Each structure stands twice: as structure tokens, then as C-alpha cells.
Amino acid sequence: MRSLLKADIGKNIKIFSDGADRTSLLEMNQNPLISGMTTNPSLMNKAGVTDYAPYCKEILTQIKEKPISFEVFADDISEMKRQALEIATWGKNVYVKIPVMNSQGLSTLDLVRELSQKGIKLNITAIFTIEQSWQTCQALKDGAPSILSMFAGRMADSGHDPLPFVHGSKAACDWAGPSVELLWASTREVYNITQAMDSGCHIITAPNDVIKKLSGLEKTPYQLSLDTIRTFKSDSESAGFKL
């Protein structure tokens, strides 16, 4: 794999920010390296959101162009549909995020197919297997623009090599056609962006702490070594260490 360059961002892969804090969302909206945003109920809860719809709608008064995904939080499939139809009305840049199944293990893909055929832009999330990717692409094929979110980072955290999963998911998206974009989710480090790009992913979504590390792109290993040593020196001086 080759090193990631700033010129690759936006050209060879799009970077979305992953978060729900209002200040961070608006900051990322102004960042030219960021092409869109993703959120989820856990991130909303962490951000202290208690009134879901008003919060999202207020965000959309500021984020009007870049795509942003808001997730349904219902567990009942029929209620998921109602929420999805409501969220889809909030803005032309809104993608409705739907988990590939509910907490009881019931597939949501019949609903996904129905919504996609109605022209609703979707982000199908919590995908962890090649089988799920193919089934999702079958549901999305010939429908509205959509995103398939595979949790490669979380898979790696469980001790599994995510790349065979990524490559299999890319084959499914290629089969479905250009309306289905492949997204690398649960990013842990900047190198994941290189992995996602070289695997053919269209998008990678990353938390702000990873995005802020993009300032270190294109530094040589020597420069990284020198920066690290200078940091150690500064910190030891600040601490007043003596022997």
C-alpha cells in the first residue's frame, strides 16, 4: 500500500466526519477535507442530545450541502419506516441511516428495498459480513443513492482481518452499480484511510480525533522521529524533571 497524500482526499476517497456534537459538526462542515457527516444514536447520546428532531433540524440550518446521515432509533420495523419517512423530509442532503437488522435479529432489508425504490437516500449500517453486504446491495440496486456502511474497524478490534470483508463488500457494491457507495466505518487510525482507499472504498468516516491527525500527512519517518523527540523534551522541561 502506498502512503496517503492530501491530494487523494476527495479525489480517490471521500472523508466523512463521525460525530454528533454541534460544535464539531459545524467545524467539520467548514473543513475542505471533509465531504460529509455521519451520526448515530450512541453519538447523539454522548453529545447530550435529548430532543432528537429539533436538534437535527437546527443542525440542518447550518449544514445544507454536505451529505449527513441521521439514524432511526426504533426497533419495530413499522416504526422504523415511519421514522425514516419523517427524517427523509428534513433536507435534500439527508441520508436516512437504517441498521441491517433490529435488536431481535430481524432483517430490515424489505424495508430498505421499499424506501430505496421510493427515492429515499439511505445509509445501511452495522454491516459485518460479506453475506449482509450482498443482501443489502440486492435491496438497494436500481434505487436511490445509498451508502453501505461496513464496520471494518470494529471487526479488526475483535481480532479479525477486515480486508477480506472489505474486498467482498466492494464486489457487492460494484455489482449494484454507482448508486451504492461503500463506506469504511469505525475508523481507528489514519492508516485506515489508506487501507480504505486502496481497497476501493468510496468513503471512510472518522471521528474528529483521527481527522485532526491529517495535519501529519506527508511527513517523513525522520520528521516524525524528530517531532516525537522534541515533544519528549518539551514535556520533560515542563514537568521540571531532575536527577
Chain segment 33-63, per-residue pLDDT in tens: 999 999 999 999 999 999 999 999 999 999 9
In a domain, 18, yes or no: yes
In a domain, 222, yes or no: no
Averaged pLDDT, 224-242: 96
In a domain, 236, yes or no: no
Show Cβ contacts of residue 212 under 8 Å, excluding neighbours closer than 6 positions.
none
Catalytic residue among 6, 81, 92, 97: 97
Averaged pLDDT, 117-127: 98
The amino acid at 14: K
pLDDT at 203: 98
Confidence of residue 5 (pLDDT cuts 50, 70, 90): confident
Strands 34-38 and 122-127: unpaired
Confidence of residue 70 (pLDDT cuts 50, 70, 90): very high
Confidence of residue 164 (pLDDT cuts 50, 70, 90): very high
Q: Which range of residues forms the domain containing residue 81?
A: 6-217
Strands 146-150 and 34-38: unpaired
pLDDT at 7: 85
Q: What is the pLDDT of residues 95-116, one digit of tens each?
A: 999 999 999 999 999 999 999 9
* C-alpha cell belonging to residue 192: 485506515
**Above 80 in pLDDT, residue 161?**
yes
pLDDT at 216: 84
pLDDT at 110: 98
Q: What is the pLDDT of residues 183-208, one digit of tens each?
A: 999 999 999 999 999 999 999 999 99
**Above 80 in pLDDT, residue 2?**
no
- DSSP labels, the chain: -PPP-GGGBTTTBEEEEE---HHHHHHHHH-TTEEEEE--HHHHHHTT--SHHHHHHHHHTT--SS-EEEE---SSHHHHHHHHHHHTTS-TTEEEEEESB-TT--B-HHHHHHHHHTT--EEEEEE-SHHHHHHHHHHHTTSS-EEEEE-HHHHHHTT---HHHHHHHHHHHHHH-TTEEEEE-S--STHHHHHHHHTT-SEEEE-HHHHGGGGGTT--HHHHHHHHHHHHHHHHHHHT---
pLDDT at 130: 98
**Above 90 in pLDDT, residue 83?**
yes
SS3 70: strand
In a domain, 106, yes or no: yes
pLDDT at 218: 86
- DSSP labels, 114-131: HHHHTT--EEEEEE-SHH
Is 97 part of the annotated catalytic residue set? yes
In a domain, 234, yes or no: no
| Number of structural domains the chain divides into | 1
Q: Percentage of the chain surpassing pLDDT 90? A: 93
In a domain, 198, yes or no: yes
**Above 90 in pLDDT, residue 1?**
no
For the beta carbon of residue 18, count every other beta carbon within 10 angstroms: 23
In a domain, 241, yes or no: no
Please report where in the chains the cell 487510525 appears, as a residue.
189
In a domain, 77, yes or no: yes
